[in-house]
Amino acid sequence: MGLIGSIIIGILAGFLAGKIMRGGGYGCLINLILGVVGGALGGWLFSFIGLSWGGILGQLCTAVVGAVVILSIASLFKKD
């Protein structure tokens, strides 16, 4: 999948991660950006532990996991 496809998957992952996280994350735009970054982090984390999911659904699941991890870490620094 090309760069545009990866960005679209990341945006969708950010949206889903924002829905999964309690409190909704940081708002739509930041969640989408964190989803794109989370896609890269999820791919790295899964390769680190030896997991690999193929196809669009696998990439989406990987990106959602990465985005949830990033939102979880970012929520530790968020002041309410």
| CA atoms lying within 13 Å on the CB side of residue 13 | 33
pLDDT at res. 25: 60
Task: DSSP for 11-79, please give it.
Answer: HHHHHHHHHHSTT-TT-HHHHHHHHHHHHHHHHHHHHHHT----HHHHHHHHHHHHHHHHHHHHHHH--
pTM: 0.81
Higher pLDDT, 47 or 23: 47
Question: Could you read off the pLDDT of 40-77 as tens digits, one per residue?
Answer: 888 888 888 888 777 888 888 888 888 888 888 877 88
